[in-house]
Amino acid sequence: MSEFNFDKLSNLEIPEKWVDNTLSASSTSKESAPAFINIRKTMTAFACFLVVCLVGFSLFTLKPDKDILPVDTTPTQSTESSADINPTTEKENETVQKDTQTVTEATEKPNADRAELKKPTENTSTATQPDEIVSETNEPENLPTDATQGSTEPQEPSLPEVIFPDNGFPEDSSDPDYSVGDCLVGISPGYLVGNGNIYCRIYNSNHEYIGDNNIFSDQHLAHFYSGFGSTYYYYYNPIKSGLVLEPDTYTYSFYNEHNVPICRAKIVISYPES
Amino acid sequence: MDEVQFLSMSYEQVVRKYKKTIGSVCVMRLKNWADAEDCFQNTFLKLYKNPPDFSDEEHLKAWLIRVAINECNRYIRKNRFHLSLDDIRDEGIDFPEESCDMSWALMELEPKYREVLYLHYCEVYQINEIAQILNKSPNTIKTLLRRGREKLRKIYGGDGI
């Protein structure tokens, strides 16, 4: 200590109790030495663990949902469109065909020659001759579409190349209850849409429109026949409803309320010679 | 207690041998007897609980001084808002002014100057040794010594050297 004199500081007397207390504390710490736990490090590690868990959980739960594949929805076809009915028309016709075969012994002429429709006189010689039904496949798309009820100005109908077989046929002319112009129509319930009414358009042999859309139902002119599966049979006679028909071969075209063609029948009108 | 050996010395022997040095460091650092006693005890407790391998006694002494300074600094940080000047004055170290002794002037310096001057003049440590103990560069120690001397002269006043 050449430069400064720190004698008092250098000769500072440390109390002896300091030593005693230190030795006592050391022995005590040795005897009951608790497990030293670095609280700070432990808390830090625990906090890091929580953060990692939270991050992992959030990544797992918040991942974008898988793209939902668009559901391939096929456009639903309205029952009002003829396309819905048309594909099943042939199937319905086949069903009715099987049903009607057990009802009557009416002859069928599948794939009838189109020339027969243009020559009605050849088939309508006498009233006793059985009425013929031209059986052809159906192409409803060619039929006029007049959705309005009671229209008085129908379009020029294009003679369909196909008609509905077995859905419309007259009763046997030999039947005493038979009346000229009678027709029995078999209609599948799938065609009974809307209010369930059936419309009929009558065309002569020249494809001329004769009568208005006559609405017939079992409440007015038709008789409901049942017992043949799901087909509903309606009795229809335009002459009894007041329509004047000259002797000719007429075509009864039946439509439902949505103007979907149901069936067609070729009716021969001839009056017995009185 | 005799189970622990430090360079062929027992723990009690080490405490008694270096009590003045460590006690002086704590007193000089804290300027309070009660606080110095706590740091003194904690320093030797650390030696007892986690004794490192010492190459020689100088290594042991330097380690004890370093631990004592750290304990004092930790105590200061911990009780920074609780230490009152009144407590220091009541239990503070009172070195009356004397013509030759400058202990009281040293206590008026900042701790960083005080430590360096004490270790250099009281414990007779060299600059490199002080740098190792305080974990500072030798140039820093030289700077602290120079500034400490200047301040000490100003406090003491006149030519006390």
Q: Which of A3, A9, A15 sits opposite B28 (nearest CB)?
A: A9
Highest mean pLDDT among A5-14, A167-176, A193-202, B137-146: B137-146
pLDDT tens for residues A58-95?
A: 988 876 655 444 555 455 444 444 444 444 445 555 55
Contact list in A for residue B119 (CB cut-off 8 A) is: none
Sign of CA dihedral A135, A136, A140, A143: negative
Q: Closest-CA residue in chain B for A25? A: B45
Alpha carbon A235 to chain centroid distance?
Answer: 30
User: pLDDT higher for A128 or A247?
Assistant: A247
**Cα–Cα dist A214/A216, whole Å:** 6
The token pair that represents A64 in the structure block: 């974008």
Q: What ipTM does this complex have?
A: 0.77
Please give the pLDDT value at position A116: 39
Q: Are A126 and A270 contacting, i.e. CB atoms less than 8 angstroms apart?
A: yes
Tell me how far apart the alpha carbons of residues B62 and B75 are, in angstroms, rounded to a whole number.
20
Give the pLDDT confidence score for residue B158 in this predicted structure: 54
Residue B91 binned pLDDT confidence (cut-offs 50, 70, 90): low
How far apart CA A96 and CA A125 sit, in angstroms, is: 29
Of residues A91 and B68, more confidently modeled: B68
Residues B6-22: tens digit of each pLDDT: 888 888 899 999 999 99
Tell whether the model's pLDDT for residue A191 goes beyond 80. no
Structure tokens belonging to residue A54: 């939270």
DSSP states along B53-64: --SSHHHHHHHH
Q: Is residue A200 packed enough to be buried (19+ CB in 10 Å), middle (13-18) or exposed (0-12)?
A: buried
pLDDT tens by residue, A94-103: 555 555 554 4
Residue that is written with structure tokens 């609980």 in the block:
B49
Residues in B whose CB is inside 8 Å of some CB of A read 1, 11-12, 15-16, 19-20, 23-24, 27-28, 37, 40-41, 44-45, 48-49, 95, 98, 100-104, 106, 117-118, 121-122, 124, 149, 152, 160-161
Q: Would the CB atoms of B121 and A4 count as touching at under 8 Å?
A: yes
- Which one of B1, B124, B152 has the shortest CB-CB distance to A4? B152
- Nearest-angstrom CA–CA distance, A41 and A37: 9
Residue A157 confidence (pLDDT): 46
CA dist., res. B123 & res. B28, Å (int): 13
Average pLDDT over residues A134-147: 40
Tell me what the mean pLDDT of segment A22-32 comes to. Answer: 75
Residue A220: its pLDDT value, please? 38
pLDDT band at B44, cuts 50/70/90? Answer: very high
- Give the C-alpha separation, B22 to B16, whole Å: 10
pLDDT of residue B92: 61
Q: What percent of chain B has pLDDT over 70?
A: 81
Count CB pairs under 8 A between chains A and B: 87
Taking all residues of chain B, what is their mean pLDDT, rounded to a whole number? 81
- Best mutation target, B29, B121, B152, B159, to test chain A (most A CBs within 10 A): B121
Q: How many CA atoms lie within 13 A of A117 on its CB side?
A: 26
Q: How confident is the model at residue B96 (pLDDT cuts 50, 70, 90)?
A: low
Domains identified in chain B and CATH numbers: 1-94 (1.10.1740.10), 95-161 (1.10.10.10)
A241-267: pLDDT as tens digits: 777 888 888 888 877 777 777 777 788
Nearest by CB: A6 against B19, B37, B122: B122
- Among the partner-chain residues B28, B41, B106, the one whose CB lies closest to the CB of A21 is B41
What does the block give as tokens for A119? 């020559």
pLDDT grade, residue A236 (50/70/90)? confident
The Cα–Cα gap between A168 and A170 comes to 7
State which amino acid sits at residue B145: L
Give the three-class secondary structure for B92. Answer: strand
Written in H, E and C, the secondary structure of chain A is CCCCCCHHHHCCCCCHHHHHHHHHHHHHHHHCCCCCCCHHHHHHHHHHHHHHHHHHHHHHHCCCCCCCCCCCCCCCCCCCCHHHHHHHHHHHHHHHHHHHHHHCCCCCCCCCCHHHHCCHHHHCCCCCCCCCCCCCCCCHHHCCCCCCCCCCCCCCCCCCCCCCCCCEECCCCCCCCCCCCCEEEEECHHHCCCCCCEEEEEECCCCCECCCCEEECCCCCCCCECCCCCCEEEEECCCCCCCCCCCEEEEEEEEECCCCEEEEEEEEECCCCC
Residue B161 is encoded by which pair of tokens? Answer: 């050297």
A38-56 burial string, b = 16+ CB within 10 Å, else e? eeeeeeeeeeeeeeeeeee
Question: Residue A111: how many CB atoms within 10 A of its CB?
Answer: 11
Residue-level pLDDT at B151 = 87
| Secondary-structure percent of chain B, ordered helix, strand, coil, rounded to 5 | 65, 5, 30
Q: How far is residue B22's CA from residue B60's CA, in Å, rounded to a whole number?
A: 12
Average confidence score pLDDT of chain A: 62
Give the minimum alpha-carbon distance from B107 to chain A in angstroms, rounded to a whole number: 9
Amino acid at A238: P
Among candidates B19, B101, B161 on the partner chain, residue whose Cβ is nearest the Cβ of A6: B101
Residue A265 to residue A250: CA distance in whole angstroms: 8
Residues of chain A positioned with their CB less than 8 A from the CB of B161: 3-4
pLDDT band per the 50, 70, 90 thresholds, residue A53:
very high
What is the average per-residue pLDDT within A103-113?
42
Indicate the pLDDT class of residue A14, thresholds 50, 70 and 90. confident
- pLDDT of A1 reads 42
Q: With a CB-CB cutoff of 8 Å, which residues 9-28 of chain A face chain B?
A: 9-10, 12-15, 18-19, 21-23, 25-27
Phi/psi at B99 (5° precision):
-65, -35
Question: What is the model's pLDDT at position B39?
Answer: 92
What residue in B sits closest to A36 (Cα-Cα)?
B49
